[in-house]
Chain A
Amino acid sequence: DIQMTQSPSSLSASIGDRVTITCRASQTTSNYLNWYQQKPGKAPKLLIYAASSLQSGVPSRFSGSGSGTDFTLTISSLQPEDFATYYCQQSYSSPRTFGQGTKVEIK
């Protein structure tokens, strides 16, 4: 199985801050890497697929980069609605695996 490790596990940030979350895979996933946002009590929502492609309807302040084993999700200017938990997930091989999540909290 490919293990996905996110860092940090949590962070505190202010409105308007630039936020970066990192995801590292235990072996290459090429760019078969997705990012999801989950708010409390809600289902996850797809933000980014194929490492850097923005899902339709997702604000352009979200961006993804990386390939191979190292990936990044960036929020260019944090908005109140962005406080949530973010997960990476690889779709390179089965079983599909998720990172443990990064909780973004208000400073």
Chain B
Amino acid sequence: QVQLQESGPGLVKPSETLSLSCTVSGGSISPYYWSWIRQPPGKGLEWIGHIHYSGSINYSPSLESRVTISLDTSKTQFSLQLNSVTAADTAVYYCARVGYSNYNYQYMDVWGKGTTVTVSS
């Protein structure tokens, strides 16, 4: 079955760039959307954005000026970059597959285990 695994540094300095990857195993990148979601300590879930296998991308307006999501189909990986980070970006970052059914119902049906990123000097 499809599995997702996040990877990347667990500690990032303020003002620097957070970079994470999500490796997809056991399945294909197409024809899905692939999402990034984060969860600050003790708080709820925040959607960051998603990318379609065709390359179409949507971002959260609150992060759009700092975020880039990309897809490497040859490596069955997708990535997140978040620029100019502050302590407010400290969170568990999850990657997820966006499944779909008839009438284009979309839902995040496969999740990675999450990776903790701390922003601190």
Q: B-contacting residues of A (Cβ < 8 Å)?
A: 1, 31-32, 34, 36, 38, 42-46, 49-50, 53, 55, 87, 89, 91, 94-101
Contact = CB atoms under 8 A, between A and B. Distances in A.
A49 B107 contact: yes
**How would you classify the secondary structure of chain A's contact residues: helix, strand, loop or mixed?**
loop
A45 B111 contact: yes
Interface residues of B, number: 24
Closest 6 CB pairs of A and B: A49-B107, A43-B111, A50-B105, A91-B106, A96-B47, A94-B58
30 contacts: A1-B61, A32-B105, A34-B108, A38-B45, A42-B113, A43-B111, A43-B113, A43-B114, A44-B94, A44-B111, A46-B99, A46-B109, A49-B99, A49-B109, A50-B101, A50-B103, A53-B101, A55-B109, A87-B44, A87-B45, A89-B45, A91-B105, A91-B106, A95-B47, A95-B58, A98-B44, A98-B45, A98-B46, A98-B47, A99-B44
